[in-house]
Amino acid sequence: MAGFNEAWAAVDKQWNGETVSLKLRPLLQSVYAQCLAQPHNLVELKRGLEDLLTYLVGEGRTNANCWAVDLFFCTDTGWERGWPEQKLPEEFHDVLATMGGSLHDTIHAPAIAENFDSLPEQLLERVKGIVVAP
């Protein structure tokens, strides 16, 4: 998956001296693959987003990880095809767009992230609320 490798390379850097966790890579890769899959497997996309956000709520809640995820969905740099063009259902599109908005504020400006419903726990609750048919 050459596109993913490029997308990962665009966000796998230091953020204020902190490195992005390697545990983040397979979580982002799962969501990336499901965003580009044709046809979409919305059950798997939902599961991938839940796994990613659960990680950011807990062990992976670092400034570097939040910045990396934000940038990954904000710019879609290196993606084979950008996620916004994939005609995902509105609920998924909105969550991904929010992740690429103010998620980076989670650590240093949590009130801003909270105001824009961009804290990992807020996003996780939104994803859990999405109903998909198996």
pLDDT in tens for each of the 134 residues of the chain? 568 999 999 999 998 899 999 999 999 999 999 999 999 999 999 999 999 999 999 999 999 999 999 999 998 788 877 777 778 999 999 999 999 999 999 999 999 999 999 999 999 999 999 999 87
Alpha helix segments (H runs only) across the chain: 2-11, 24-36, 42-57, 63-75, 90-99, 110-115, 120-128
By residue count, the chain amounts to: 134
Rounded CA separation 107/94 (Å): 22
Q: Which residues contact 17 (CB under 8 A, 6 or more apart)?
A: none
CA neighbours closer than 13 Å in the CB half-sphere of residue 14 = 3
